[in-house]
Amino acid sequence: MEVRYHGHSCVEFRGDLVSIIIDPFIKDNPLASVSVDEIKVNYIYITHGHGDHLGDAIQIAKNNDATIIAPYELATFLSWQGVKVHPLHIGGSFQFDFGRVKATPAFHGSSFVDEERKEIVYLGMPSGVIIELGDKKIYHAGDTGLFNDMRLLEREQLDLAFLPIGDNFTMGPDDALLAAVWIRAKKVVPIHYDTFPYIKQNPTNYVERLNKLGIEGEILPFNKWVRL
């Protein structure tokens, strides 16, 4: 399996049979150096409806005839934009042709902001996601604060976890360190940092702290394919 991190929460996976991208915030993402048209995927997972996570999902889905997987209300909203969707909801899972996808809780918001009308459209609950891809079980926490039920993810026997460390809008490094201890993934990758001034962090320090606790951490380079 190969992984490409485009900054913020946008992570792209390439397996033998399928390509998937999570939260494809590309065009307005200062850390992403690829164009939207370069993204070639079969599936898109959207954790919640905020613009820096929904991002360019509609255009990417139309370019690739890809299916968007998202919590029910968000999936319904996106179906009205003329794309293929598969709705899930928290705790639910579905066996796709490449593997199982399960929506997990996240403590955050989920909405579409119409700046012109000064309206906020509620888009249901935010989520994290567990994706089984090849022989790997991958957890992407989405945007979330620390919550006690993260302890339950230990039973999933995760190979790889992507945890936000940016603080201000999500967990900061201290809470993300505790989350890593609780979920017991074999490897932890920090995400959702440095995109904006509010969420500037030191990922190297975070990974060093993980390693001191006996947890393998890795910082992924922006926009480059890495085999994990």
- Round to the nearest angstrom and report the end-to-end CA distance of the chain: 6
What is the chain's pLDDT, residue by residue, as a tens digit (228 residues)?
999 999 999 999 999 889 999 999 999 999 999 999 999 999 999 999 999 999 999 999 999 999 999 999 999 999 999 999 999 999 999 999 999 999 999 999 999 999 999 999 999 999 999 999 999 999 999 999 999 999 999 999 999 999 999 999 999 999 999 999 999 999 999 999 999 999 999 999 999 999 999 999 999 999 999 998
Asked whether the beta carbons of 178 and 147 are under 8 A apart, the reply is: no
List b or e across 115-130, with b for residues whose CB sees 16 or more CB atoms inside 10 angstroms: eeeeeeeebbbbbbbb
pTM of the model: 0.97
Q: With respect to CATH, is domain 2-221 assigned 3.60.15.10?
A: yes
**What's the sign of the alpha-carbon dihedral 217, 178, 142, 72?**
positive
CA gap 108, 143 in Å, rounded = 6
- CA 210, distance to chain mean position in Å, is 20
3-state secondary structure of 48: coil
Q: Measure the CA angle with vertex 171, ends 165 and 176; round to 5°.
A: 65
**What pLDDT score was predicted for residue 16?**
87
